[in-house]
Chains A and B, each alone.
Chain A
Amino acid sequence: MAREVVSTGNELAAKAAIEAGARFFGGYPITPSSEVMHEASDLLPEVGGVAIQMEDEIGGISAALGASMSGVKSFTATSGPGISLKAEQIGLGFIAEIPLVIVNVMRGGPSTGLPTRVSQADIGQAQYPTHGDYASITLCAGSLTECYTQTVRAFNLAEKYMTPVFILLDETIGHMHGKAMLPDLAEVEASIVNRATFTGSPADYKPYKAEMNKPAVLNPMFKGYRFHVTGLHHGDEGFPTEDAFQCEYNIERLVGKINTVAAQNDGLDNEPDYEEFMLDDAEVCLIAYGSIGLGAYEAVQKLRAQGIKAGMFRPILLWPSPAKKIAEIGARFKDKIFVTELNMGQYAKEIERIIKRDDFTTLFKANGRPIAPAEMVAKVKEMM
């Protein structure tokens, strides 16, 4: 039976993590994500887990990576400046293929920016948080319920693809306090994905000997399967290599296991990668995500009340983007597309890349304030 709860986005993310099986949290205080850590330090000891507040952001993610290597589902939570500090270790997560969930409750940036105000300016950072070539998986919660469901999904994707996964909240949704309908716990537990393990002889174990576009198979530490973990390019057993063929294969596989797989299978799992709201008969398509999507629902209804057939497309899986659907929207709505986000157009660039046109209308804001439905309505009316 679905569960009705009253909570905040940050608390729901922590609750979801624990119900998805996470037993380790490593983090550091930062506004507006600290409540994820508070909740984790309340809930994890009750289920035999551990929440550690580390000495800084780098310590937070490093401890979580270490815990994940021992086979325990782990997560960390922070905001943009914390992601900047964690960047090097996120890279380690990518190349060493360590599953980890990173909750980013977005605030205004760059640098210290607007610590207590909302923003969606870490969309680009989530795609390329660190140096080098890799592909990132990024989910974005657009409601209190999704703070829960998408965090569960983030753990499943991390385990399936053996990679760090971002779940983006923002200050509005993280601190929003309200009613949320959560899926039945048994249903959640039935959906849990656990990382693959190698069960053959330890002598035959080669964790990084993976087929093209397949993830590594990392057995938990302390179980008798010895292997080397490094941030250097590595061969089948994890030991460093500079072999040109191997290095090229590594990168192609790291990118391919996410981007190629998503393109071939139209997504990374069977969960919805986007939401369509009143789009069937729409003549104009609003594109929004995260907390701005909440305003866009209202804008769509207001526009319809005024005789403009509007609908909304709300991506949930931001990276890799639901490109096939975005291309369809581009072809169907032509220039009657309206992209609105709380940054200077970071996701609009992705839409432009996919539909290969920039004739759509945009409304960007980067001053720490949300975008009101009335502002969206006014802008859409201008374009009709």
Chain B
Amino acid sequence: MVENKKTKNLKEFSTSADRFEGANLLCPGCAHSIIVREVLNATNDDLILSAATGCLEVCTAVYPYTSWDASWIHIGFENAATAVAGAEAMYKALKRKNRLLQPERVPKFVAFGGDGASYDIGFQWISGAFERGHDMMYVVLDNEVYANTGGQRSSSTPIGASATTSPAGRVSYGEKKEKKDMMAIMAAHGSPYVAQVSPSKWKDMVKKIQRGLNTEGPTFINAVSACTTEWKFAPEDTIAIADLAVDSLVFPLYEIIDGHELNITYRPKNVIPVKEYLAAQGRFKHLFKPEFKHILDEWQVRVDKKWEQLQRREEARI
């Protein structure tokens, strides 16, 4: 029944664009389109998609053009999960009543949201959809900032990042709160599959997306989406930055099955210091002043601790 599209090599990865066109208004170097294209290309099944308000929605469907070759709903900022949940519930009802016109075509239901739409304003609605258990996948394009409205902090913005509403300056080193751990929260919903991905590790990413699509029930993908505009790096460095995020373990790649079984899916051969990842981005520039050395040190301690925790959980197999 399930037909996966086989991603065989990098060439195919980089050129397949059957369902999501690269022609869009996203910033040059935006990781969103790379991630979304691979979600859509991971399956040959029909897709029913929704997108929350955000960069992705604004830049990929400007009348009279669209990048989407699939059924696609744009809904309010907070309700991408809800829209897809409604469509999925109706699909099930029609199926039960034998009223589907082409019952042999089994669609996949996928919702996309940025971190603002998912970690903040849409959080309640994602939680509701996962609690009800819709057969859907929710994908967060996590660029750790409200990129569409001028770079305000979100609850995904990491400590020390300068954002328009947590500006670094004379008295502040920027964002003061730790990034919300959405992976743990979604796993705690008992979701059958929760995974963190990076477009720089494309095989790992596509494998997880396919598993998410093929798992019954609500599944969750958190994708690091390096933002050239708000993280402040050169557009051609998107994948290099994503690599730094993964190799510094700031953004570890792992999955959680059925809410408890944790697998680390990528172990960097050479773990790089966190400050190398931070130094590559303008949003953390101020942290390299002597007075903020403690923030850098704390960053490394936090990342080490989290990595230790993930490894222990993986070993524990509980």
Contacts and interface: CB of A to CB of B under 8 A. Distances in A.
23 contacts: A29-B116, A29-B150, A29-B152, A30-B149, A31-B148, A31-B149, A34-B152, A34-B164, A35-B150, A37-B152, A38-B150, A38-B152, A45-B171, A45-B172, A53-B153, A53-B165, A55-B120, A56-B78, A56-B121, A112-B53, A112-B76, A112-B77, A115-B58
Interface of B: 53, 58, 74, 76-78, 116, 120-121, 123, 146, 148-150, 152-153, 155, 164-167, 171-172
Nearest to A37: B165
A72 to B, nearest CB: 19
Nearest to A55: B120
**Interface SS of chain A: helix, strand, loop or mixed?**
mixed
A34 B149 contact: yes
A261 B149 CA distance: 40
6 shortest A-B CB distances, which residue pairs? A56-B121, A29-B149, A29-B152, A55-B120, A53-B165, A29-B146
B155 A55 contact: yes
Interface in A36-61: 37-38, 41-42, 45, 51, 53, 55-57
A55 B119 CA distance: 8
Contacts of A51: 165
Interface residues of A, number: 20
Contacts, number: 50
A31 B164 CA distance: 14
Contacts of A57: 121
**Interface SS of chain B: helix, strand, loop or mixed?**
loop
Given A30-B149, A45-B172, A51-B165, 16 more contacts: A28-B121, A29-B116, A29-B146, A29-B150, A31-B148, A31-B149, A34-B149, A34-B152, A38-B152, A45-B171, A55-B120, A55-B121, A56-B78, A81-B77, A111-B76, A115-B58
Contacts of B121: 28, 55-57
Nearest to B148: A31
Contact of A42 (B53, B146, B167): B167
Contacts of A34: 149-150, 152, 164
A29 B78 CA distance: 13
A45 B165 CA distance: 12
Contacts of A53: 152-153, 165-166
Nearest to A42: B167
A194 B149 CA distance: 34
